[in-house]
Structure 1
Amino acid sequence: MNFVPSDPDPTPGSAEHGFSPFFSTSDLTAATPSGVSPNVSSPSMTSRPDEFMLSQDYLSYREELRSLIFHTAQSAAPTRQGSPAGADEVKLTHELHNGHLQSHRDTARILSIGKRVFYLRNYVEQVASWLDMFDGDRVFGMQIPSLAQTSPPLLYAILALSARQIECKEKRKNSFDSLELYQEAIRLLAPLLVDRDVKIIPICVILCCLEMMSASAQDWRRHLEGCAALFSTFGVHGFSGGMLQAVFWCYARMDLCGALISDGTQCTLFQPSRWLPAGTEAHEARSLFRASQNPDMHANYSVWLCAKTCKLISDRTRYNELAEQNGCTEEVFTNRWLALWDELQVWLGTRPRELHPVKTAETKPFPQILYVHWAAISSNQLHHTACILMLDSMPKPLKLTMNLGMAGSTLWHAKWVCGISLSNPHQGCINNAIQPLWLAGRLLSHRSEHEIIIKLLRSIESTTGWGSCWRIPDLESAWGYKVRKSGSNAAS
């Protein structure tokens, strides 16, 4: 397909949006102040914590879980080792599917209380699609709810996450269902952690996702550390196979978001080299990802490349600004930059047809790009995000000698980041778009573009419950003005 840039200087009267699932045509046609939704106070997790976050019970249980996870990770070895060959995956599935009759009775009792069946249905219909967006086998939507029938801690974990999503989405006050379920999940999880049982991994990742919904952006890495330690201890990585592989990639996307939040100062907690099987060299990754012949794995390849981009930039930042002796000299950085840029372009050129858009339209101020495959949405957006980061850090000598064509325009990539989110309403993908939209939004100069991005960020939060409005003041600071409640602009 041919990539054509949109007009870099759009005018308010030139919008031609025809199939944006987020906004009606009247919302966007003129991109005038009257088309902007009323401003609401940002429920920024950094400044307006709710009762869940402020609860001493939550804080104490969160620290207890963290302590138990690290104690498990520091143990000599897990009772049941993870296996790339999938042997323990089969064992794990067998154990959970063939639990004792008492476990079935326990889960029936759990679901008989209050609104728990409603929370389970919401998990399957809404939340699981976030976690499964790069997984056609739908491990979180189909396998894990089935396995939870004989695993009370797993059942409590998915109920807690679902309840928390509803509380955040509806901004419920004095609702503590998620806290009660979270506490019970940890209570029942503790013996499994002590036994260093591999079935703790999906439970801990789901609880980690709940904590991400409730954490300030600056505190994300603290919540991610425990799962990273477990993956290391159990030898789980992006090619472990089966359920554990799907769980790993769900965590990897959260880890990448944390790296993007750091704005070039930090890499992922779980280093990209450890996302591959032990002993795999970096140059072998391309063939390893492509060997699977699976569009989901090619999408995961985009996540890995974006993580490598964060790693490259953070290495250079720390070498220059903190005098960290990590070997990222100017020459080394330039060579790594060239190799990674080439890999990013190869990713784009070798995408399977499932990851190509089914429709594109060069409308203003943003192009419209529609995908039908879930994994295509975020993987393509992450590609453009990585390219923005790469171009922003491009070595000066290369700027004078390389002609990158359209791919060398940060503005073009930024508009595609925004266009992808505007055209594709999948909840998991718009959740994962918050940091890409922040990076892209900073590059845009026209007020009609700014209004649309702010409206999009508000829509993400109201649609999914995932905090996104905290990025609005950051964007307004970068633009030099605020968008008022009425949609009028005020100089800072």
Structure 2
Amino acid sequence: MQEFDFTNLNIDTEGIGIFGSSVVQSPACDGDPNDTLRYYYKTLHYIQEAMQYDSYKTSLELLATCSIVSAYEMLDGSRQDWERHLKGVFWIQRSQVIHGDSSGLKQAVWWAWLCQDVWAAFREKRRPFTFWRPLRTLDELDPYELAARSVYFFAQVVAFCSREDTEAGKNDPLGRIASAEALKEALETWRRHLTAEFQPLPYPTSKEDVFESIWIHSPVFAVAFQTYYCAHILLLMNSPIIGGLDQYTQQRKRLMECVGKVCGIALTLSDYPSSVMCSQCLYIAGIPLESKRERECVLSLLEACRERSGWPVKPLGEELKARWEEASETP
């Protein structure tokens, strides 16, 4: 199976030239910011016209174009349009039985779509649209497929944290704890199957560092680990605690360990493809932080990701600061 980087949300394919160059203008990029909007509407018009042809409805071009459109909507912050098109891509893929174990471009588009859908689901506190269950075991996967599988497990955790599942769990805290433990075990099983490519490499550190730097090469494997730790962070923040102060203290310690790992990995990432998913992981890792020094470090890392990718239009750091202020005002 062809290797692919699931962190790269821009799918390029021959025959799709309508969208122009980059889907979003970087803050440091010259040019008219309305150019991207013009290409966006031209693309939507093109899709509408092309859908008259049956051959287009099942083409690779449609899949790739829809993936690029939804990526633009995510980057541009158009939440309502993005949600609608994510669901549209879901139905297109479902009708063609496209999933994470498909081959070629179909597989790449599915994983790129899942990365977007999981982030949207987290933001909206809903369950991800996908209900696919992989048939291939972890033993059968190569390193790149193992990296992509981390997003699948993360999607299961986002579903656990959804408003729907949270409300249902209020009447059965023991059942919810059992569900959280099952997800943790799935994550640990994934980790036990990781190959040498996922091992951290030596990297210079200093006692003055806010977080200990963790260098994993290549970035796709680094982001897979960030995703793994973010899944644990969400489970720890959304699981009932019935063991009293001791259990709370243990969970808080584990929570801060996972936060440190996400931020430590982010310190060594400087490439464009990983920037979007890295910033999403940093946002999640930043939520439980209380230390001013650690918060400032996360905000700096988020801004560095934004400068590389141009995403999002409204800085995630601003949203994170608003969450911190809201948390400080809560009795």
**Shorter-normalised TM range:** 0.7 to 0.9
2:275–2:308 contact (8 Å) kept in structure 1: no
From 297, 313, 316, the equivalent of 2:161 is 313
> Which residue of 2 is the match for residue 337 of structure 1?
180
Structure 1 residues 398 and 301: alpha-carbon distance in aligned structure 2, compared to 1, 3 A threshold: farther
Q: Deviations over 1:45-91 (max 9, x none)?
A: xxxxxxxxxxxxxxxxxxxxxxxxxxxxxxxxxxxxxxxxx9xxxxx
| Total equivalences in the alignment | 317
TM-score (norm 2): 0.83
TM-score (norm 1): 0.58
1:442 is the counterpart of 2:283: no
> Which residue of 1 is the match for residue 108 of structure 2?
246
Which secondary structure does the structure 1 equivalent of 2:311 belong to?
Answer: coil
Structure 1 residues 206 and 396: alpha-carbon distance in aligned structure 2, compared to 1, 3 A threshold: same
From 120, 124, 129, the equivalent of 1:269 is 129
2:303–2:315 contact (8 Å) kept in structure 1: no
Shift of 1:444: 2.0
2:77–2:313 contact (8 Å) kept in structure 1: no
Give me the whole-angstrom Cα distance separating, in 1, the residues matched to 2:9 and 2:275. 20
1:190 is the counterpart of 2:54: no
Shift of 1:389: 0.7
Give me the whole-angstrom Cα distance separating, in 1, the residues matched to 2:312 and 2:248. 39
1:476 is the counterpart of 2:321: yes
1:460 is the counterpart of 2:298: no
> Which residue of 2 is the match for residue 134 of structure 1?
6
Shift of 1:246: 1.0
Give me the whole-angstrom Cα distance separating, in 1, the residues matched to 2:22 and 2:287. 34
> Which residue of 1 is the match for residue 34 of structure 2?
176
1:334 maps to a residue whose letter is I
Ranked by relative contact order (alpha carbons within 8 Å, sequence separation 6 or more), the top structure is 1
Give me the whole-angstrom Cα distance separating, in 1, the residues matched to 2:150 and 2:193. 12
2:10–2:71 contact (8 Å) kept in structure 1: no
Alignment of 1:74-85 (within 5 A): none
> Which residue of 1 is the match for residue 23 of structure 2?
164
1:260–1:435 contact (8 Å) kept in structure 2: no
Comparing 182-191 and 219-228, the one that deviates more: 182-191
1:426 is the counterpart of 2:287: no
Which secondary structure does the structure 1 equivalent of 2:59 belong to?
Answer: coil
**Structure 1 vs Structure 2: percent identity of aligned residues?**
22
2:299 maps to a residue whose letter is I
Alignment of 1:362-373 (within 5 A): 363=207, 364-373=209-218
Give me the whole-angstrom Cα distance separating, in 2, the residues matched to 1:419 and 1:367. 5
Q: Deviations over 1:303-334 (max 9, x none)?
A: 0111000111224323257xxxxxx8334322
Query: Gapped runs of 5+ residues in structure 1?
Result: 1-85, 87-131, 281-287, 322-327, 482-492
From 451, 463, 480, the equivalent of 2:296 is 451
Give me the whole-angstrom Cα distance separating, in 1, the residues matched to 2:9 and 2:317. 34
1:222 is the counterpart of 2:65: no
From 382, 394, 397, the equivalent of 2:227 is 382
Alignment of 1:354-365 (within 5 A): 354-359=197-202, 361=205, 363=207, 364-365=209-210
> Which residue of 2 is the match for residue 259 of structure 1?
121
Give me the whole-angstrom Cα distance separating, in 2, the residues matched to 1:407 and 1:294. 34
> Which residue of 1 is the match for residue 329 of structure 2?
none
Give me the whole-angstrom Cα distance separating, in 1, the residues matched to 2:9 and 2:274. 17
RMSD: 3.2
Give me the whole-angstrom Cα distance separating, in 1, the residues matched to 2:76 and 2:147. 27
2:128–2:158 contact (8 Å) kept in structure 1: yes
> Which residue of 1 is the match for residue 95 of structure 2?
233
Which secondary structure does the structure 2 equivalent of 1:432 belong to?
Answer: helix
> Which residue of 2 is the match for residue 292 of structure 1?
140
Query: Gapped runs of 5+ residues in structure 2?
Result: 327-331
